[in-house]
Amino acid sequence: METRPNSIEDWPSRAWNLLSKLRDQSPLVQCITNFVSMDLMANTLLSAGASPAMIHSIEEIPDFTPHARSLCINVGTLSSDWLPAMKAAVVLANKFRKPWVLDPVAAGASGFRLNACLELVGMKPTVIRGNGSEIIALFKASLGASKGVDSSHESTDAMEAAKSLAQASGAIVAVSGAVDIITDGNRVVGAHNGVPMMQKITATGCAVTALIAAFVAVDPLHALEATASAFSIFGIAGELGMNMAKGPASLRMHLIDSLYSLDQVALLSHTKITSL
Amino acid sequence: METRPNSIEDWPSRAWNLLSKLRDQSPLVQCITNFVSMDLMANTLLSAGASPAMIHSIEEIPDFTPHARSLCINVGTLSSDWLPAMKAAVVLANKFRKPWVLDPVAAGASGFRLNACLELVGMKPTVIRGNGSEIIALFKASLGASKGVDSSHESTDAMEAAKSLAQASGAIVAVSGAVDIITDGNRVVGAHNGVPMMQKITATGCAVTALIAAFVAVDPLHALEATASAFSIFGIAGELGMNMAKGPASLRMHLIDSLYSLDQVALLSHTKITSL
Amino acid sequence: METRPNSIEDWPSRAWNLLSKLRDQSPLVQCITNFVSMDLMANTLLSAGASPAMIHSIEEIPDFTPHARSLCINVGTLSSDWLPAMKAAVVLANKFRKPWVLDPVAAGASGFRLNACLELVGMKPTVIRGNGSEIIALFKASLGASKGVDSSHESTDAMEAAKSLAQASGAIVAVSGAVDIITDGNRVVGAHNGVPMMQKITATGCAVTALIAAFVAVDPLHALEATASAFSIFGIAGELGMNMAKGPASLRMHLIDSLYSLDQVALLSHTKITSL
């Protein structure tokens, strides 16, 4: 039996309240991320109202990380010299009780990457956000389940993997897909916003992970709700953007513009989050 | 005497068939490339229908490279710690008979860079794509021929250098310019698409090299034809984009949108590839 | 008493002459900069008419830097392995009397970063361009004055810090803000162009620093005037772009387009530079 049934959850209002809080507080979000996505992640965070900081040098972690409100770790272009800084930042985030989010990009692409991801999963992320292949790869902890950075599994196939991973790790596990799935291992919520063409823009997955980091920064005690809201809002920005887009590059532009100017009326009427 | 005269080559149909194949197969293209171009390269590959993977860490090469359909090596922001990964990936690409493409960005900018490029040329790339200055620098293997990353030679001046380099290296050599030149050392083909403003967008050269990597992935036995087709299609996307653009930044957007939605009618009517 | 009062300074004509010179000469500008801003910096330089080169490897500095007309050093994603290349390039720029510009991004974010910035300030930059927090942090040489990369001080608060820093360092010090302030420690000039939404686009500060590097390349003996002109022109591009923009992402595009096509009439009528 669900302790917090959807019938009493007013998701649109919750999402709007979180976005308003984010815009008011402009939380500092530290991103240790990949080279491909830095631009889109920073611009996504700025458009949502957050304050991004792409600071990854291990020399800077002790001084800087304690000032961040949340941390986003993304292994997209991982190399062995970046991993210690990621771990050092995570240790500090945990010490200072800051929420942190893990994006296990292409988790199954190599043994090195999978092991790094498993180590990070073991360090108690607040949220893990991946596509179906990545979440399944983490769950199976085996090579070959992920083909590059694109998903070759439908997110619905990954629901059981996500629930198991959430239970084992203690993290909220979120799976991007036609319907985005968010689970704490028990409760499962679906975010039904977004358009398929967003997959044709590089780093949209990374960008939504960064947005999740901003949302959990302003509501760290309700990470599942913050994650679902971030998914839905990013998806709504995509839907509104799609009304003006002629292809992936103009969609990218209109998505960011729409995220920046998203108002209460549009948000309340578009938010589609349900229990699954 | 040419063995495959242009009169019996239906270039527009060939280009369309290759693009269709690319969209159907969505080949995984590994890019070890520079920091400036990663975003545009990934988005170009996605818009064309390919599946990009920007994976450069030497720890990941043994597991990942064998799964890629082709490899794109670009030395734009080369440093000594990246070169071993480039070579390791090339060795595996050669071992598994995957085509790979070299972009010798600013080959003449330093002795370090020129030597690295010459080493890579010696490792038997399927295609080498540069501007006139870069190809001449490689040919002359001497410093000073290249001024930064922009071309200070017309591509036509580079034709003889390209033919000689192709003969010496065994690679298809492609020179970007007002007319793009593609040669196997004997046959020379020109791709006449594109607009001058594309040179005012950073990384368009890198992006067309990535597109060549995607095209040779789906037709590795006809690398000259695949290269000419990639040039022409990227140029057509630029021409269609230029109809809507007001400057370099909007051209960049409309080019990617046009590449994504390029259809058979537009492609067949715009493709201009000839024997030279 | 001012030796060059504003009443005899025709700023709009000066700015137009400098932009024309830049477009004619297309100076090669070497950028050793952060991963987030490389794309926007390169596209800003190209649109303005300069020739960007993002070359940061220490192996290449001795061969390459002497050919550059100016150098832009930006510590946005600083790590210990990049700092020696920055210093080596600065040494060569100084040796060959090339102007160089320092962008002390988030100078106060860590002791490591602040020390690196102070070392670079001590190497005699031609221009230092930061936001209020960064300039104050450099001035105070103390931690905690800067919150991430966004400014939490109004630029007017930073005027005294800027003047003191200019006197101590010998550099022109420029502070971005609602009014951009440029000072040699004695004279203070304000550039009043630009729109607030530019702060919602990542790397616009880095981009204007790169543009300053291009302007000082074509007028190294009048660095204050070149800096003020670069600020004003970038701001005008933002104002013209804002007429078409619907949010930060479209503003970014229209700004670059507007910079590319900025003509004499628009520039002369929009340039607002005054003595302060």
Mean pLDDT of B112-137: 96
Predicted local confidence at residue B9, as pLDDT? 79
Mean pLDDT of B95-118: 97
Q: Does the residue A239 lie in any domain? A: yes
Q: Does the residue C1 lie in any domain? A: no
| Sequence-separated contacts (24+) of B61-64 with Cβ below 8 Å | B61/B85, B61/B88, B61/B89, B61/B92, B62/A110, B62/B88, B62/B92, B63/A109, B63/A110, B63/A111, B63/A112, B63/A143, B64/A109, B64/A110, B64/B30
With CA atoms as reference, the chain C residue closest to A259 would be: C247
Q: Identify which of A40, A110, A203 has the shortest CB distance to residue B63.
A: A110
Predicted local confidence at residue A9, as pLDDT? 79
Other Cβ atoms less than 10 A from the Cβ of A257: the count is 23
Per-residue pLDDT at B144 exceeds 70: no
Q: Identify which of C76, C80, C248 has the shortest CB distance to residue A257.
A: C248
Contact residues, chain A, for C110 at CB < 8 Å: 55, 59-60, 62-64
Contact C260 B250 (CB under 8 A): no
Predicted local confidence at residue B155, as pLDDT? 56
**Chain A residues within 8 angstroms (CB to CB) of chain C:** 26, 28, 35, 38-39, 42-43, 46-47, 51-60, 62-64, 67, 252-261
Predicted local confidence at residue B147, as pLDDT? 45
Mean pLDDT of C14-24: 98
Contact C260 B248 (CB under 8 A): yes
3-state secondary structure at position B154? coil
Cα separation values, A142 from A74, A110, A114, A137, A139, Å: 19, 9, 8, 6, 8
Q: Does the residue A136 lie in any domain? A: yes
Per-residue pLDDT at A148 exceeds 90: no
Q: Does the residue C73 lie in any domain? A: yes
Q: Identify which of B76, B203, B247 has the shortest CB distance to residue C260.
A: B247
Per-residue pLDDT at B7 exceeds 70: no
Instruction: Considering only residues B6 and B254, tell me which one the structure prediction assigns the higher pLDDT.
Output: B254
Percent of chain B beyond pLDDT 70? 92
Provide the number of CB pairs (under 8 Å) joining chain B to chain C. Answer: 99
Contact C38 B35 (CB under 8 A): yes
Per-residue pLDDT at A111 exceeds 50: yes
Contact A28 C147 (CB under 8 A): yes
Contact A76 B63 (CB under 8 A): no
Query: How many domains is chain C partitioned into structurally?
Result: 1
For the domain that residue C215 is a member of, what is the CATH number? 3.40.1190.20
Domain that holds residue B265: 24-275
Q: Does the residue B203 lie in any domain? A: yes
Best A54, A74, A77, A79 residue to mutate vs chain C (most C CBs within 10 Å):
A54
Q: pLDDT, tens digit, for every residue of C109-130?
A: 999 999 999 999 999 999 999 9
Alpha carbon distance A95, A89 (integer Å): 10
Q: pLDDT, tens digit, for every residue of B203-246?
A: 999 999 999 999 999 999 999 999 999 999 999 999 999 999 99
Mean pLDDT of C243-259: 98
Q: Does the residue A1 lie in any domain? A: no
Mean pLDDT of C83-94: 98
Q: Identify which of B106, B109, B202 has the shortest CB distance to residue C42.
A: B202
Q: Does the residue B10 lie in any domain? A: no
Residue A194 C-alpha, separation from nearest chain C C-alpha, in angstroms: 19
With CA atoms as reference, the chain B residue closest to A78 would be: B57
Q: Does the residue A78 lie in any domain? A: yes
Q: pLDDT, tens digit, for every residue of A135-144?
A: 999 998 843 3
Residue B243 C-alpha, separation from nearest chain C C-alpha, in angstroms: 15
**Chain B residues within 8 angstroms (CB to CB) of chain A:** 26, 28, 35, 38-39, 42-43, 46-47, 51-60, 62-64, 67, 252-261
Mean pLDDT of chain A: 93
Predicted local confidence at residue C147, as pLDDT? 46
Alpha carbon distance B263, A201 (integer Å): 20
Residue C259 C-alpha, separation from nearest chain A C-alpha, in angstroms: 19
Contact residues, chain A, for C84 at CB < 8 Å: none
Which of A2-6, A28-32, B36-40, B86-90 has the least mean pLDDT? A2-6
Contact C201 A60 (CB under 8 A): no
Mean pLDDT of C54-70: 97
Q: pLDDT, tens digit, for every residue of B50-66?
A: 999 999 999 999 999 99
How confident is residue B178, by pLDDT bands cut at 50, 70 and 90? very high
Per-residue pLDDT at B148 exceeds 70: no
- Residue B175, strand partner residues: B130, B181
Q: pLDDT, tens digit, for every residue of A160-211?
A: 999 999 999 999 999 999 999 999 999 999 999 999 999 999 999 999 999 9
Contact residues, chain B, for C53 at CB < 8 Å: 106, 109, 148-149
Mean pLDDT of B100-116: 96
Angle, to 10 degrees, between the axis of helix C83-95 and the axis of helix C111-121?
10
Touching chains, C (3+ CB pairs < 8 A): A, B
